[in-house]
Amino acid sequence: MQRHIAHRLLQLVPVLLSVSVLVFFMIHLVPGDPVQVMLQDYGSAEQAAALRHTLGFDRPLVVQYGVFVWHLLHGDLGRSIRTGRPVAAEIALRLPYTLRLTAASMVVAIVLGLTLGMLAAVQHRRFLDYAATVTALAGISLPSFWFGLVLILVFSYYLRWLPPAGADTVTSLILPAVTLGASAAALIARLSRSSLLEVLRQEFIRTARAKGLGEWWILYRHGLRNALIPVLSIVGLQFAGLLGGAVIVESVFGWPGLGRLAVDAIFNRDIPMVQGIVLTAAVIFVAVNLCVDLLYALVDPRIRYV
């Protein structure tokens, strides 16, 4: 196991290096002069020259990339063009909010998705199966920004049960978490249903039933654990997808996380801030997939790393 972990960590080096290259060249793929884009064509020639020198754009690209990587290794993501504060400090301030929202959304997605998937598999080709399938299709099809506005209209405006925006209380997390986790729950439900149906047709399930074990015990102890491997894979991908989807949901609910910070940075042409946010999201995505890979052996004892 230790050897496998070391091998996977070594594999992360070229991945993170490739991410750094893409993030670095992001600023040079912007149409036109990136300095003029940051200044929004309002700065003078002297201001443009000063900003170009400050950002190091007057150096060769190889030197710029070397300086960029050197700063990354020291935790320096540059300074925000809009506020002048370090990008790392701004991200550190907003990241806990996004991680809290993403974690809550993931809990909603896993609980709701596995519940719907299990009900659909147990009640195969019955009313609950069709109802769960329709619910999953609706969850995948509904746009998150529209679904979020509907939840605000119903639970905040009409019923007045939950706050429509902000992050002041625990209840402020409910609506954005449900909005963000709905599509992931639908995907997990469909995948867990098909995976569980395949497992329930196996011979060892028939043997367990022949021994007189209860249906729910068979479903939990023998069926669900064997069906979780493909579900775990999609959970890792969905976690990264939720980080991306937080951009829209945080804007709808006024949630002070990375998504809202990214939207503000894009509108203000704050390219160093956008670079830092993209790099942070990419590192989190890689780390989550590594954790999912290592969890396989805990879920299924048949998997052994050599």
Q: Which residue has the tokens 């329709």?
A: 134
- The span from the CA of 246 to the CA of 288, in Å, is 16
57-66, 212-221, 234-243: which has the highest mean pLDDT?
57-66
128-141 pLDDT, tens digit each: 778 888 887 887 78
* CATH (one of 3.40.640.10, 1.20.1090.10, 1.10.3720.10, 3.30.470.160) for 94-293: 1.10.3720.10
pLDDT at 270: 79
Torsion of CA 49, 51, 54, 56, to 10 degrees: -70
Burial 103-140 (b: 16+ CB within 10 A, else e): ebbbebbbebbbebbbbbbbeeeeeebeebbebbeebe
* Positive or negative: CA dihedral 193, 194, 195, 196: positive
Asked if 211 and 222 count as a contact pair (C-beta separation under 8 A), the reply is no
Helix (H) or strand (E) holding 230: helix 225-253
Of residues 71 and 300, more confidently modeled: 71
Global confidence as pTM: 0.77
193-213 pLDDT, tens digit each: 888 888 877 777 777 777 777
CATH 1.10.3720.10 positions along the chain are 94-293
User: Is 296 a residue whose pLDDT tops 60?
Assistant: yes
| SS3 (DSSP) at 169 | coil
User: Is 143 a residue whose pLDDT tops 80?
Assistant: yes
Total Cβ atoms within 10 A of residue 169: 10
pLDDT at 188: 87
* Positive or negative: CA dihedral 164, 169, 171, 175: positive
- The span from the CA of 237 to the CA of 114, in Å, is 16
End-to-end CA distance of the chain: 6
Tell which phi-psi region holds residue 75, choosing left (phi > 0), alpha (psi between -120 and 50) or beta. left
Q: Which of 170-179, 234-243, 282-291 has the lowest mean pLDDT?
A: 234-243
Q: Which two tokens stand for residue 27?
A: 């600023």
